[in-house]
Amino acid sequence: MGSKIKLLGMCIWLFYLPSFTFIVVKTQGNESERSATLKGSVVINGRSVIGNIDVDFVCATLDWWPPEKCDYGRCSWGLASLLNLDLNNKILLNAVKAFSPLKLRLGGSLQDKVIYETENDQQQCTPFHADTTQMFGFTQGCFPLKRWDELNNFFEKAGAKIVFGLNALVGRTISGSAVGPWNYTNAESFIRYTVSKNYAIDGWELGNELSGNGVGTSISADQYASDLIALRNIVYNAYEAIDPKPLIIAPGGFFSADWFKEFISKSDTSLDVASHHIYNLGPGVDEHLVEKILNPSYLDGVASTFRDLKNVLESSGTAATTWVGESGGAYNSGHHLVSDAFVYSFWYLDQLGMSAAYDTKTYCRQSLIGGNYGLLNTTNFIPNPDYYSALLWHRLMGRHVLSTTFSGTKKIRAYAHCSKQSKGITILLINLDSSTTVEADVTLSSTKNFLHRKMSDDSKVVKLPLHYATETAREEYHLTPHDGNIHSQIMLLNGKTLTVNSDGDIPSLEPTYVNSSNPIIVAPYSIVFAHIPDAVVKACS
């Protein structure tokens, strides 16, 4: 590859700043083009990394809800529970396999009402039953070991990585808050059975939404820390001859600074991952969900949670990292034709980008299947738009996060990572505007040995470092809704409908190729991933 750029009808300016140098490429159009489009610039500081994510950052959940789980008069869970999901469905298997691997977190509200069958059980293992007098509207339920065997067989075939959420309420007295120590006898038996069967578990998580004020009930930070230490001892004894050991994860609840600070400090070195949940869009019944999703200021609001939790971890001196253990955007199962439609990818991908920038290692979407926010349709398993958004992120966005801003309009959300597929970078641009096309130039910080000079405005051929710009093609993935309807459940990639075939195969996600010297065109209400393999910056080398 050569190091020359032919710039017909273009101008180049090179600016030298004390700490680093930018390359800025601007395209000059005529007046009619300007009136139809808006020009902006993606500014990426490629000199350092601001966050690091797990290689399997994208995660999804599988929940316990029975078919009787209903919200706002709509029963949207069907047969999507860990207890009744059709593990022989070809689309389900292929959808998980496509990630190679997909991290799955098994848990949810009812996990703290699950009792695990043991090999010596003499009693019948009964499922959940609806009971409005009980917490979450259901009785205690039993998890059969045979079903655990079936699930692990599926996970092995699909190549999934598993995090299991344990019942943290066993043995406690619940009167407002949950009082007393955790009775871990049943959980320990289940963990030891899992080890005896050689089932691969990436992490064991204690409890669901019991931190702070809790949901349903709560546990004090002091008691939770004591219980977590007990869990670590159980796991390390059970996995004594096995390395690496599974992660110890908690509390899987909503962030409360004081509660998390005390919990982390008293957990000592027992905590590997501080997990928290996010439902920043409010209830699924809210008729203003789309307005919130398309409002950049509203999207920015949740940044304080990521920032504050990061500060708590840093100030505590813990080695624990942070995960979003569950996030469905709108709680109580989401909202049909919003959380299962194209428009939700604006919120979802923005969440992935924002959380990664605050050093979140894993982000678990509620749910893989079930409710109105499943990545897969609950009835027919067909992928919803967010499935393809998640898969593209997983394949394109590498572990290292780059500082990224966009100038020109607040309606563009911009994120950039070192690429997963090359030594270059991948940029994600989300256009929340309904009528404006954006021409986005890319501005990269250079290395120290960059040649500092300003070219004349009429230069046609300019010698620049090979690392920054060439005539080679970049790969672009343009995501748009069917017929321009953001409530559509059909997503287009580069103008072609994404759909599984008769064998249940996930479609290949092929890019379109664009000259790297051209701006990135972001259509109204669209999403673009741009992989630039030759944009090699210091942070990615």
Select from 292, 280, 285, 289 the least CA-distant residue to 324: 280
Enumerate residues 6+ apart whose C-beta is below 8 A from 259: 211, 212, 221
Q: State the Cα angle at 383 between 373 and 280, rounded to 5°.
A: 25
* Spatial distance between the Cα atoms of 538 and 541, rounded to a whole number of angstroms: 5
* Spatial distance between the Cα atoms of 365 and 370, rounded to a whole number of angstroms: 11
349-368 exposure pattern, b = at least 16 Cβ within 10 A, e = fewer: bbbbbbbbbbbbbbbbbbbb
* Spatial distance between the Cα atoms of 5 and 173, rounded to a whole number of angstroms: 71
Structure tokens at 3: 């190091």
Among residues 117, 188, 209, 475, the one annotated as catalytic is 209
Among residues 205, 326, 475, 476, the one annotated as catalytic is 326
Confirm whether 326 is a catalytic residue: yes
Please classify residue 91 by burial: count the beta carbons closer than 10 Å to its beta carbon, then call 0-12 exposed, 13-18 middle and 19+ buried.
buried
What values do phi and psi take at 377, rounded to 5? -65, 130
Confirm whether 205 is a catalytic residue: no
Select from 536, 518, 537, 538 the least CA-distant residue to 528: 518
Other CB atoms within 10 Å distance of the CB of residue 181 = 11
Please classify residue 241 by burial: count the beta carbons closer than 10 Å to its beta carbon, then call 0-12 exposed, 13-18 middle and 19+ buried.
exposed
Q: Taking the mean position of all CA atoms in its chain, how far away is CA 363?
A: 4
Select from 386, 379, 312, 394 the least CA-distant residue to 348: 386
Active-site positions read 209, 326
